[in-house]
Amino acid sequence: MATAIYPGSFDPPTLGHLDIIRRSAAIFNELVVCVMHNGAKGQSLFTCRERAQLLESITADIPNVRIETQGGLLADYVKNYEEPVVIRGLRAVTDFEYEFQMAAINKKLNCKMETMFMVASDKYTFLSSSVVRELGKYGREMSCFVPKAVEEAVHKKLSGELCKSAPA
Show which residues are catalytic.
17, 41, 91, 129
Least distance to ligand COA, CB of residue 140, Å:
16
Least distance to ligand COA, CB of residue 54, Å:
12
Give the H or E element holding residue 30: strand 30-35
CA dist 121 and 141 (Å) reads 22
4 CB-contact burial (10 Å; exposed 0-12 / middle 13-18 / buried 19+): buried
Q: Are 113 and 84 in contact (CB under 8 A)?
A: yes
Looking at the Cβ atoms of 14 and 163, the one nearer to ligand COA is 14
Looking at the Cβ atoms of 20 and 159, the one nearer to ligand COA is 20
Residues of the shown chain interacting with ligand COA in the complex, contacts defined by CB under 6 A? 7-11, 14, 16-17, 20, 36-38, 73-75, 89, 91, 102, 105, 120, 124, 127-130
Least distance to ligand COA, CB of residue 129, Å:
3
